[in-house]
Structure 1
Amino acid sequence: MCDSNISAFPLHRRRKLVEGIARVLESKNGEDANAFWRSTAKTILVQLSESGIAPGLAEREVGTLLHAVLGDIATRSTAKLAR
C-alpha cells in the first residue's frame, strides 16, 4: 500500500468538532476522559484511512486535533476564572 497525496480540511480548524470534543472531555475525569479520547481518536483515524489519507498524515491530524481541543479547554477555563 502506498501513501496518498490526498489531504483533508484540517481537523483542528473544524470548530464544531474541536468544541464538541472539548465539552465532552471537560465533563469527564481520569480514565473516563482517556477512554473517550482514545475511542474518538481511533474512530477519526479509521475515517481518515477510509477516505484515503496516508497513516502518517492521519496520525498528525489527530495529534494536532488533540492540541486544539486542549487549547479550547484551556481558553474556556481561563475565561471562567476571569469572571
Structure 2
Amino acid sequence: MHHSNICVFPLHRRRTLVESIAQALETKNGEAASAFWRCAAKKMLIQLSDVGIAPEFAAQEVGSLLHAVLDDMANRTVMHIA
C-alpha cells in the first residue's frame, strides 16, 4: 500500500470529535480515562492508515487531536468556574 502525507481535514479541527472525546474523558478518572483515550487513539490510527495516511503523519494527527481535546477540557473548566 502506498502511504500519503496528506490529511484532508485535520482531526484537531473536527469540533464534534474533539468535544465528544472531551466530554467522555470528563466522566472518567485515572486508568479508565487512559484506557478510553488509548482505545480512541488506536481506532483513529487504524482509520487513518486504512485511508492511506503514513504512520508518522497519523501519529502526529492523533497527537494534535489529544492537545485539542485537552485544550477543550481546560476551556470548559475555566468557563464553569467563571
TM-score category (smaller protein): over 0.9
- Identify unmatched segments of 5+ residues in structure 2: none
Identical pairs, percent:
62
- Give 2:50's aligned residue: 50
TM-score, structure 1 normalization = 0.93
Query: Helix, strand or coil for the counterpart of 2:4?
Result: coil
With normalisation by structure 2, the TM-score equals 0.95
Q: How does 1:27-46 map to 2 (within 5 A)?
A: 27-46=27-46
* Structure 2 counterpart of 1:18: 18
Tell me how large the CA RMSD over aligned residues is.
Answer: 1.2
State the one-letter code of the partner of 1:62.
Answer: V
Q: Name the residue aligned to 2:60.
A: 60
- 8 Å contact 2:7–2:53 — kept in the other structure? yes
